[in-house]
């Protein structure tokens, strides 16, 4: 099937190229960091080459097949979705512009369509990618800052069943922020990929091999 380029999007990002390539492979963040766009992901295969998954689309409450293939050397990746119109491809390529900055260019390729429809679709893709990259940039900047300051990880103290519990407020998965995540019945859920931890024991509740770091309750916490 012929594909037509309907638009493109270029974006400087305040995070390293390494973070951006990590983000491209990170399928699990889609329904969490981009909850207004995606509401589920079911991955069938993943590796350093990319991933294949079924994703739920929040707005239409429907599902599409998604395949992402990454060429790390060239910092280029393509994501393909298959829906009622056929296969669309979104090509992304990035360059480092500094140790903590890069720029990505995204091009939208869709099955042949009328010019006016193509223009509208191109503009709506560009708006969508603006929003997705706002969300990704906040995550990547937060992760880069947390990686640079592991010694300064903040401690959070919460009360569960009348007992204070103290833990490091960075998720043991990829250092997601746990400073403000709600604690409900002693369970905290990370906003980046949804991992859940029991703050009383640090145990992960999703069968993941990571553990929330508990620390002694600071002595200056009022009883
Ligand atoms: S950083 Fe991934 S679940 Fe917290
Ligand atoms: Fe993302």
Of 23, 195, 199, 213, best ligand 1 pocket probe by most atoms within 8 Å of the beta carbon? 195
**Domain annotation covers residue 221:** no
CATH, residue 40:
3.30.530.20
State which residues form the domain around 160.
153-215
**Domain annotation covers residue 220:** no
Give residue 16 CA to ligand 1 midpoint distance, Å.
19
Same domain for 167 and 139: no
pLDDT tens-digit series, residues 143-169: 999 999 988 899 999 999 999 999 999
**Domain annotation covers residue 223:** no
**Domain annotation covers residue 67:** yes
Same domain for 59 and 126: yes
pLDDT at residue 113, rounded to an integer: 76
Mean pLDDT, residues 57-83? 94
Mean pLDDT, residues 199-211? 97
C-alpha triplet 102, 68, 116: angle, nearest 5°: 85
Q: Is the pLDDT of residue 84 over 70?
A: no
Same domain for 63 and 126: yes
C-alpha triplet 30, 35, 91: angle, nearest 5°: 45
In the chain the first and final C-alpha atoms are separated, in Å, by 68
**Going by C-beta distance under 8 Å and a sequence separation of 6 or more, which residues neighbour residue 134?**
none
- Structural domains counted in the chain: 2
**Domain annotation covers residue 23:** yes
Same domain for 166 and 141: no
pLDDT at residue 76, rounded to an integer: 98
Q: Is the pLDDT of residue 118 over 90?
A: no
Same domain for 195 and 134: no
With residues binned 3-state (H G I as helix, E B as strand, rest as coil), the percentages for the chain, rounded to 5, are 25, 45, 35
Give residue 170 CA to ligand 1 midpoint distance, Å.
9
**Domain annotation covers residue 208:** yes
- Closest ligand to C-alpha of residue 27 is 2
- Closest ligand to C-alpha of residue 77 is 2
Residues with CB under 6 A from ligand 1: 171, 173-174, 176, 190, 192-193, 195
pLDDT at residue 222, rounded to an integer: 55
Strand locations in the chain (E): 3-13, 38-47, 50-57, 62-71, 76-83, 86-98, 101-111, 155-160, 163-168, 183-184, 187-189, 196-198, 214-215
Give residue 8 CA to ligand 1 midpoint distance, Å.
30
Share of the chain above pLDDT 70, in %: 97
Write down which residue in 98, 122, 148 finishes a domain.
148
Same domain for 177 and 116: no
Q: What is the largest CA-CA distance in the chain?
A: 68
23 backbone φψ class: left, alpha, beta (φ>0; ψ -120 to 50): alpha
Mean pLDDT for all residues in the chain: 94
Give residue 31 CA to ligand 2 midpoint distance, Å.
9
Mean pLDDT, residues 121-126? 93
Q: How confident is the model at residue 196 (pLDDT cuts 50, 70, 90)?
A: very high
pLDDT at residue 115, rounded to an integer: 76
- Closest ligand to C-alpha of residue 79 is 2
pLDDT tens-digit series, residues 8-54: 999 999 999 999 999 999 999 999 999 999 999 999 999 999 999 99
CATH, residue 192:
2.102.10.10
Give residue 133 CA to ligand 2 midpoint distance, Å.
7
Write down which residue in 148, 176, 194 finishes a domain.
148
Mean pLDDT, residues 64-88? 90
pLDDT at residue 94, rounded to an integer: 98
Angle between helices 115-148 and 17-25 (to 10 degrees): 110
Q: Which of 40, 34, 8 is nearest to 138 (CA)?
A: 34
**Domain annotation covers residue 98:** yes
Q: Which ligand 1 atom is at minimum distance from the Cα of 178?
A: 4
pLDDT at residue 206, rounded to an integer: 96
- Closest ligand to C-alpha of residue 33 is 2
**Domain annotation covers residue 222:** no
Mean pLDDT, residues 188-208? 97
Same domain for 74 and 126: yes
Same domain for 144 and 91: yes
Same domain for 144 and 168: no
Alpha-carbon distance of 19 to 98, in angstroms, equals 12
Q: Three-state DSSP class for 4?
A: strand
161 backbone φψ class: left, alpha, beta (φ>0; ψ -120 to 50): left
Give residue 202 CA to ligand 2 midpoint distance, Å.
27
Q: How long is the chain?
A: 223
**Whether the Cβ atoms of residue 199 and residue 158 lie closer than 8 Å to each other:** yes
Q: How confident is the model at residue 183 (pLDDT cuts 50, 70, 90)?
A: very high
Q: Is the pLDDT of residue 220 over 90?
A: no
Q: Three-state DSSP class for 177?
A: strand
pLDDT at residue 83, rounded to an integer: 66
Same domain for 18 and 108: yes
**Whether the Cβ atoms of residue 24 and residue 76 lie closer than 8 Å to each other:** no
Same domain for 40 and 134: yes
Of 143, 145, 192, 209, best ligand 1 pocket probe by most atoms within 8 Å of the beta carbon? 192
Strands of 163-168's sheet in order across: 155-160, 163-168, 214-215
Share of the chain above pLDDT 90, in %: 86
Write down which residue in 128, 148, 168 finishes a domain.
148
Q: Is the pLDDT of residue 223 over 60?
A: no
Same domain for 65 and 142: yes
């Amino acid at each position: 099937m012929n594909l037509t380029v309907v638009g493109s999007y270029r974006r400087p990002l305040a995070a390293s190229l390494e973070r951006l390539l990590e983000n491209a492979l990170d399928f699990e963040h889609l329904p969490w960091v981009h909850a207004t766009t995606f509401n589920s992901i079911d991955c069938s295969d993943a590796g350093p080459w990319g991933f294949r998954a079924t994703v739920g689309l929040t707005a239409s409450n429907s599902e599409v097949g998604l395949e992402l293939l990454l060429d790390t050397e060239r910092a280029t990746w393509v994501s393909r979705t298959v829906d009622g119109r056929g296969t669309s491809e979104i090509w992304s390529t990035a360059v480092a512009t500094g140790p903590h900055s890069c720029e990505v260019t995204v091009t939208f390729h869709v099955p042949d369509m009328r010019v006016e429809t193509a223009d509208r679709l191109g503009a709506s893709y560009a708006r969508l990618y603006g929003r997705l990259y706002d969300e990704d940039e906040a995550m990547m900047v937060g992760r880069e800052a947390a990686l640079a300051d592991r010694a300064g990880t903040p401690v959070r103290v919460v009360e569960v069943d009348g007992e204070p519990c103290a833990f490091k407020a960075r998720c043991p998965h990829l250092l997601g922020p746990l400073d403000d995540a709600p604690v409900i019945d002693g369970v905290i859920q990370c906003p980046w990929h949804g991992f859940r931890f029991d703050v009383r024991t640090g145990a992960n509740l999703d069968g993941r091999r990571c553990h929330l770091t508990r620390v002694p309750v600071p002595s200056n916490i009022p009883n």
